[in-house]
Structure 1
């Protein structure tokens, strides 16, 4: 069956979308892990002159998240919505690139840049794991500022904080996410080193 065809709404997807719409950040990671490989394969099958496929996947999921969080977006058939978003993003970015002169790096390229799919998938898993480990308050402020694009001052009242305290909280949360990501990424390296020492 083609990636672009969806047999019907998955109850799991519907439940995840409802959780995401209700503010459950963990549902986003579940949806990403479930659908990112298909979205990536579909993007790879489309013409994309000089456009990195991983940037397309990230943009598609970000747009979907914003749509859901503002009361729009998919309610049942997320796969169809995601693949339609791939076409839209590629169309917009391709049109924008036609209006830009090529830079020296692009002139020197003989083949599109390819990134190892397993590496990209593992990186996404590490980021989701690091985000999941953060305190709920940090996840909330990161989501509101980094994903939804709110300024700290605009969400301070909702968080019960002053604008300055919200900005400090956002700064600490970003630093915490960086540290959690580094710890998550070092764990497989330490495991591999132990295995090598035992070999």
Structure 2
């Protein structure tokens, strides 16, 4: 058996929900939105003991006022203002290579600032895809020296890139 507040809420719904829904629908033209506004209006009535204590027939103007304010709040909300309905989704952006070009220019500039011995090892190992043994043979230096120059050269390259604002 429903409690007294629940019975009053049911009476409020029966007495006012259809007319409040029609009113909100005339303001918005949105059936789903009208249902949400009616539900929120009834929820606010349920939370207000003063409204529940009144007779259901005497709360009509209060319910219409609350519903109108909810419609206005929804129309002013940031969510509503930023949503733009379109018939079809927009095209996805395409990579145009600009970022890659800028990155390559920054890396090229940073490489130019390295010691030539370090730069040669890095270019052979990373840009030409040579192994440590191949780099050693091509440059005529021991494999251990290649590894050492790679280590210190990459460290210097990382610092040079950081100075240019590259963080990743």
Q: Same fold (TM over 0.5)?
A: no
TM-score, normalised with respect to structure 2:
0.41
* Normalised TM-score (structure 1): 0.35
Greater relative contact order (Cα < 8 A, sep 6+): 1
